[in-house]
């Protein structure tokens, strides 16, 4: 696969994600997504039971800032000490560092209040887009990209993508289950983080950050 095609793919994905985010934001601003949000919340919170609540709290915990920072440091040490990468370190730092900054900016712009229906947890900041979802997508999406080139078997790559996707999806669902986010917050978080992740990868590739 030639570099120009990779660049086009990365930038195309960032544009698609940006358009998707814009559509979600527009629907929220015009109050056209309430039926969707409430129906998903009703379904997800209908699963409530003590055992599942514990599981969801654990997944939500995986998206908290201390855990993301701890995992990020561990990944950076692994990349530096085991794989000996340097350019990849800069890419990973840009991905995980830029996502929370972008989230803070977007939250301050949209100022959406959190759902007040049935809460199993409490959060103080604004709701849209979901910070947990953005952090999880950036962290695990970036990790998948960096490890992909070192996993040569098809089965290994499928497992890598599947595990990362399941973790990201479960973190997003946990925020809905705990009553601290609308589904559109979670989707918006994935899309916003997708924009940042794709742009970061595109810039990385354009600067020659690839294996020959």
Token pair of 104, please?
A: 């803070």
Q: How far apart are CA 191 and CA 141, in angstroms?
A: 12
Q: How far is CA 140 from the centre of its chain?
A: 7
In this predicted structure, the answer to whether residue 177 has a pLDDT above a threshold of 50 is yes
Active-site residue list: 132, 181
Token pair of 70, please?
A: 């701890």
Residue of 82 and 48 predicted with greater confidence: 48
Query: Strand ranges (DSSP E) for the chain?
Result: none
- Mean pLDDT, the chain, as a whole number? 89
CA dihedral 57→63→69→75, nearest 10 degrees, is: 110
Q: Looking at residue 211, what is its pLDDT?
A: 47
At 19-46, the pLDDT tens digits run 999 999 999 999 999 999 999 999 999 9
Q: Looking at residue 153, what is its pLDDT?
A: 87
Nearest to 10 by CA among 141, 197, 207, 211: 197
* pLDDT-above-70 percentage for the chain: 93
Residue of 80 and 95 predicted with greater confidence: 95
How much is the average pLDDT of 121-143? 92
Q: How far apart are CA 144 and CA 161, in angstroms?
A: 7
């Amino acid at each position: 696969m030639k570099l120009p095609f990779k660049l086009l793919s990365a930038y195309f994905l960032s544009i698609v994600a940006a358009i998707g985010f814009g559509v979600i934001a527009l629907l929220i601003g015009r109050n056209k997504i309430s039926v969707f949000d409430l129906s998903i919340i009703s379904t997800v919170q209908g699963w409530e039971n003590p055992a599942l609540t514990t599981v969801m709290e654990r997944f939500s915990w995986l998206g908290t800032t201390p855990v993301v920072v701890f995992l990020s440091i561990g990944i950076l040490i692994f990349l530096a000490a085991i794989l000996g990468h340097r350019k990849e370190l800069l890419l990973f730092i840009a991905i995980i560092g830029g996502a929370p900054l972008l989230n803070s900016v977007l939250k301050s712009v949209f100022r959406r209040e959190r759902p007040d229906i049935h809460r199993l947890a409490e959060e103080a900041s604004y709701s849209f887009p979901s910070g947990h979802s953005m952090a999880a997508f950036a962290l695990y999406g970036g990790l998948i990209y960096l490890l992909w080139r070192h996993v040569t078997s098809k089965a290994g790559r499928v497992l890598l993508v599947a595990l990362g996707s399941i973790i990201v999806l479960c973190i997003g669902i946990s925020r809905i289950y705990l009553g601290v986010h609308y589904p559109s917050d979670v989707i918006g978080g994935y899309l916003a983080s997708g924009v940042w992740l794709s742009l970061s990868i595109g810039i990385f590739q354009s600067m020659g950050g690839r294996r020959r």
